Amino acid sequence: MRGPHNILRLIRTGATLERTGAMGVVLEAFNAPTSLRVAARILGWPFKWLGYKGDPNQPPATRALTALGPAYIKFGQILSTRPDVVGDELALQLRVLQDKLPPFPTEIAKATVARELDHPVDELFSDFSEPVAAASIAQVHRARIASTGEEVAVKVLRPKIERAFRRDIDAFYFAARMIEALAPSTRRLRPMDVISHFEGVVMGELDLRLETASAAEFAANTADDEGFSVPEVKWFLSSRRVMTLAWVGGFPSGEVAAIKAAGHDTNALGERILTMFLRHALRDGYFHADMHQGNLKVAHDGTLVALDFGIMGRIDEYTRRVYAEILFGFIQKDYRRVAEVHFEAGYVPADQDVDEFARALRAVGEPIFGMDASRISMGRLLSYLFEVTERFGMETRTELILLQRTMVVVEGVSRSLSPNINIWTVSRPIVESYIAESIGPKALIRDLGRTLRVLSRFGPRLPAIVEAALIKQQTPPEEPSSFSWTKTGALGVAGVTLIAIGVVVGIAL
């Protein structure tokens, strides 16, 4: 499927932007240079007739992305949280992509529920509403369980959504190949790997059984987090194309005016969103990776409620420690240490100069401190970071793309509630706490305990290990060296004895 026929798809993308009037809006939002604007118009206008018309009742950018398909809609959802990058006007237009897309008929949703759960909808639910939210992949209905009377949210996948996503991702692969071929300098960013990672994440989102499991795991991890909750999963009413959760009232986090009118402190909410994300990523290594405004609700009591668990991120403990050290180094303004951590982790090639890299990091970090976020141009900051990574030959780490993207989205959501929030100031106590728990003396003792517990599994095999160690000792030559077989054998046995002692300690721990 990843062949030249995708050229038509890419041409149609540009043509759709031109036909819907989104081309000018997008170029203006990104402050594109005059030469790029002229080139885009010259290349786009002849193919305008190939573009999708879209819904003329929608704003240009929303109209174009909706017409182009679900993968483009996902991209628009991310941009909607970054008014500092795309401007307030375009961000406002894109916000409707989060949960206000045209729904599919309720009768089709009911038929899907009945087919997936092997029972008529009327037997399962006493009420089943029209769609209350419709996004790029699924829509949600408010319902009431017939047997208990409990209110629930029923999520149903869009018809033929798998095929639509496959078509878009197919075009992205082709575009990535073209970029690598035409601009070899971009290969260090591994665009093909980036698309492959995106494909894996998205295709996992299209199986609601996996999302249900994700919601249950996330709920267990965050059960003790004050001011944050996850709706209860209803396993017996969930399947591959249907997921049912407890209904939660409140306001979407994007409705700032309504949240303020209800008496909630939006500054505190903005800070809580940031701290919860960092806590989940660092403490648990498992975080919500699609935290746009439509997926975060503010309950009537002020609790933050997470929704839509199709895209979750996971990072191993070693990587979490590396990133915590990097964040902590920035907070402490210890750019030399930040640079050393990059080299130790292999993020920067060993042939680069650590001092030069530290100086480049200082130029990135220093402007951040002492400012409120409203005075920081994240667009220029990210642009400079890109220049730094290119200069020092850093490759894109595909396993961390989700974390990096989510950090951008979460900061955008937080700033929509608290425009003057500073991510570094809010992050500091969370990162310091994680550093104390994971990198200090306590962590060393805990790691040793884990190592000894692993060694304890070899307890039943200790006699065989000792015997094998003795057998492997070779008979010394006729004129043995001063380091005799006896000494060697004794050292071997001593080593095994140390393991045995470790086993006992491990069991005790």
Give tens-digit pLDDT for 31-77: 666 765 676 676 667 778 788 888 888 888 888 888 888 878 877 77
Count of other CB atoms within 10 angstroms of residue 252: 21
pLDDT-derived band at 501, boundaries 50, 70, 90:
very low
Least confident of 98-102, 397-401, 435-439: 397-401
The pLDDT of residue 165: 83
Least confident of 249-263, 267-281, 320-334, 369-383: 369-383
CA separation for the pair 458, 253 (Å, rounded): 52
CA separation for the pair 5, 8 (Å, rounded): 6
pLDDT-derived band at 251, boundaries 50, 70, 90:
very high
365 vs 254 pLDDT, higher one:
254
HEC string for 460-492: HHHHHHHHHHHHCCCCCCCCCCCCCHHHHHHHH
DSSP, collapsed to helix, strand or coil, labels residue 445 as: helix
Of 432, 387, 426, 389, whose CA–CA distance to 407 is shortest?
A: 426
CA separation for the pair 85, 408 (Å, rounded): 11
Q: What is the pLDDT of residues 149-166, one digit of tens each?
A: 999 999 999 998 888 888
- Cα-to-chain-centroid distance, residue 467: 50
Q: What is the mean pLDDT of residues 325-343?
A: 85
Residue found by looking up tokens 């104390």 in the block: 436
16 vs 25 pLDDT, higher one:
16
Of 21, 7, 18, whose CA–CA distance to 42 is shortest?
A: 18
The pLDDT of residue 469: 76
Q: What is the mean pLDDT of residues 447-475?
A: 71
Residue found by looking up tokens 């809006």 in the block: 25
- Is residue 394 within 8 Å of residue 348, measured between CB atoms? yes
The pLDDT of residue 48: 80
The pLDDT of residue 508: 37
Whether the per-residue pLDDT at 487 is higher than 60: the answer is: no
Q: What is the mean pLDDT of residues 131-138?
A: 88
Alpha helices in 30-69 (DSSP H): 34-44, 60-68
Q: What is the pLDDT of residues 401-442, one digit of tens each?
A: 667 767 778 888 888 899 888 777 788 888 888 887 776 666
Whether the per-residue pLDDT at 114 is higher than 50: the answer is: yes
161 to each of 69, 93, 104, 169, 206, how far by Cα in Å?
10, 24, 12, 12, 8
pLDDT-derived band at 328, boundaries 50, 70, 90:
confident
The pLDDT of residue 372: 56
Count of other CB atoms within 10 angstroms of residue 388: 14
CA separation for the pair 22, 13 (Å, rounded): 11
The pLDDT of residue 131: 95
The pLDDT of residue 122: 94
The pLDDT of residue 243: 97
Q: Strands 242-246 and 312-314: what pairing?
A: unpaired
Alpha helices in 348-397 (DSSP H): 354-365, 378-391
265 to each of 7, 83, 210, 257, 271, how far by Cα in Å?
49, 21, 35, 11, 10
Burial state string for 37-69 with b = 16 or more CB within 10 A and e = fewer than 16: eeebeeebeebeeebbebeeebbbbbbbbbbbb
239 vs 453 pLDDT, higher one:
239
Q: Strands 251-252 and 296-298: what pairing?
A: antiparallel
- Is residue 145 within 8 Å of residue 124, measured between CB atoms? yes
CA separation for the pair 289, 312 (Å, rounded): 5
For a pLDDT cut of 90, what percent of the chain falls above it? 29
Question: Furthest-apart CA pair in the chain: how many Å?
Answer: 97
Q: Which two tokens stand for residue 445?
A: 């003792």
- Write the single-letter amino acid at 23: M
Reply yes or no on whether 301 is catalytic.
no
Q: Which of 84, 290, 316, 353 is catalytic?
A: 290
Count of other CB atoms within 10 angstroms of residue 498: 11
Least confident of 115-129, 203-217, 308-322, 448-462: 448-462
CA separation for the pair 94, 38 (Å, rounded): 24
Whether the CA torsion 43, 45, 47, 53 is positive or negative: it is positive
CA separation for the pair 179, 467 (Å, rounded): 60
Tell me the CA end-to-end span of the chain in Å, nearest whole number.
Answer: 55
CA separation for the pair 24, 30 (Å, rounded): 10
Using CB atoms within 10 Å of the CB of residue 300, give its burial: 0 to 12 exposed, 13 to 18 middle, 19+ buried.
Answer: exposed
Whether the per-residue pLDDT at 120 is higher than 90: the answer is: yes
Whether the per-residue pLDDT at 127 is higher than 80: the answer is: yes
138 vs 33 pLDDT, higher one:
138
Mean pLDDT score of the chain: 79
Least confident of 121-135, 332-346, 433-447: 433-447
pLDDT-derived band at 187, boundaries 50, 70, 90:
low
The pLDDT of residue 476: 57
Q: Which two tokens stand for residue 7?
A: 């050229």
